[in-house]
Amino acid sequence: MLNRLQIEPFKTHNSSIYQTIPLSYETFGCPLGSAPIVLVNHALTGNSSVVGEHGWWKDLVGDDKCIDTLQYSIVAFNIPGNGYDGFLLDNYEDFTVFDIANLFLKGLELLKIHSLFAVIGGSLGGSVTWQMAVLQPELIQNVIPIATDWKATDWVLAQCRIQKQLLENSSQPLEDARMHAMTFYRTPQSLTAKFERTKQVGSVTYDVENWLQNHGEKLQKRFHLKAYKLMNHLLTTTNVTDGTNNFIDSAKNIKGAIHLIGIDSDQFYLNEEINKSYLALSEFKSNISFSEINSIHGHDGFLIEFDQLSEMLKDIFQLQITN
C-alpha cells in the first residue's frame, strides 16, 4: 500500500523553496518497530514497489529471500517526481542527489526511525545511499551501494547528456532515450548471447532491434517524460563531497560498515572506479569491503545476477538473524 508524508517546507541545495514536497513510501515485512529496518533505494525507472508479484527486486527481497521480510522491516521511498505516486516536478533541475537523500532522511524522521540496519540501492539508488551515509554518518549500520560510485564520472555525464538531448529533441523522446540507454546498460557480449543476429521468419528487422523498440515502447506506456528527465538529471548530480571532490574527508566518518559491490562488465558505472573508491577509503576505514559480480550483462547485472548478489549479501543479513 502506498503511504504518503509531507515534507514542509523544503529548501533545496540551490536554495529553491518548496512549501511542500510529497514523499510516498511502502513498507513490507515486519511492522515498523518490531524488527531491524532495511531501507531500499530504487534505481532510475524503479519505485517503492520492491516486493511481491510486480516487485522490481522480488528475487532479492521477500519471504525467505536474502533480505528476508519475515525477519526485517523494509521501507522504500519514491524519489519525489518519479511519477509513481502521480507527483511530477516542473523545475526538476532544482533537485540533486543531495536533496533526494535529505528528503529521505526527513521522511525517516517523520516515521520516527532513528537507526537503520541497512540501506541498499543499485545505480541511482546506490548514489542516494552513499549520500545518506555521508549526511548522517551514524544512522546506518550497513551501507550497501551497488553498481554505483560516490561521483558521476565524465563517462556518466557524457551518456546522460546524450539522454538529455534525446529527451528534449526527439519526436518520441522516451522511446529513443530508453533504446539508447539499453545499449550502455548491457554489453556487446550480453546482446550476442541473447540474440546471435537472429530474425523472426518473415521479419525485415533483427531481434535485437525489436527488443530495443519493445523496451522503448514499454517505458513510454508506464513512465512520464518529466519523470525521466528528472531521474536522468539526478544521475549527473552525484557527488557526495558537495563539490569539493575530497572523497576521503566526506566518507571517512561513516560509522557503519560499507559494502561496495561492482559488476566486472559494467560499462556505465565502471567497476574500476568503484574499486578505486574502495582502495582509497580502506586506508582510513577497516569495516569496508568490495565484491564483484561476474556477468556478461553489464550495468543491469544487479537486476539479473540474483544468485551472486544473494551470496555476497547473505553474511550481512544472516548475521542479524543468528544473533
**Residue 165: how many other CB atoms lie within 10 Å:** 14
pLDDT of residue 322: 46
Domain 155-234 has CATH 3.20.20.70: no
How far apart are the C-alpha atoms of 155 and 157, rounded to whole Å?
5
Give 174-230 pLDDT, tens digit per residue.
999 999 999 999 999 999 999 999 999 889 999 999 999 999 999 999 999 999 999
Give 254-305 pLDDT, tens digit per residue.
999 999 999 999 999 999 999 999 999 999 999 999 999 999 999 999 999 9
Residue 218 contacts by C-beta under 8 Å, 6 or more apart in sequence? Answer: none
Per-domain residue ranges of the chain: 3-152+238-322, 155-234
**Do strands 10-11 and 17-18 pair parallel, antiparallel, or not at all (unpaired)?**
antiparallel
Q: Residue 319: is its pLDDT beyond 70?
A: no
pLDDT of residue 45: 94
Phi and psi of 288, rounded to 5°? -140, 140
Q: Is residue 120 classed exposed, middle or buried when 0-12, 13-18 and 19+ CB atoms within 10 A define those classes?
A: buried
Residue in the block written with cell 548514489: 127
Cβ contact 280:250 at 8 Å: no
Ramachandran sector of residue 77 (left: φ over 0; alpha: ψ -120 to 50; beta: rest): beta
**Amino acid letter for position 161:** R
Q: Confidence class of residue 242 from pLDDT cuts 50, 70 and 90?
A: confident
Distances (CA, A) of 106 to 99, 168, 306: 10, 32, 31
**Do strands 73-77 and 21-29 pair parallel, antiparallel, or not at all (unpaired)?**
antiparallel
CA atoms in the 13 A half-sphere facing the CB of 43: 17
CATH second-level architecture of 3-152+238-322? 3-Layer(aba) Sandwich (3.40)
pLDDT of residue 191: 97
How far apart are the C-alpha atoms of 91 and 89, rounded to whole Å?
6
Q: Which residues are registered as beta bridge partners of 73?
A: 29, 37
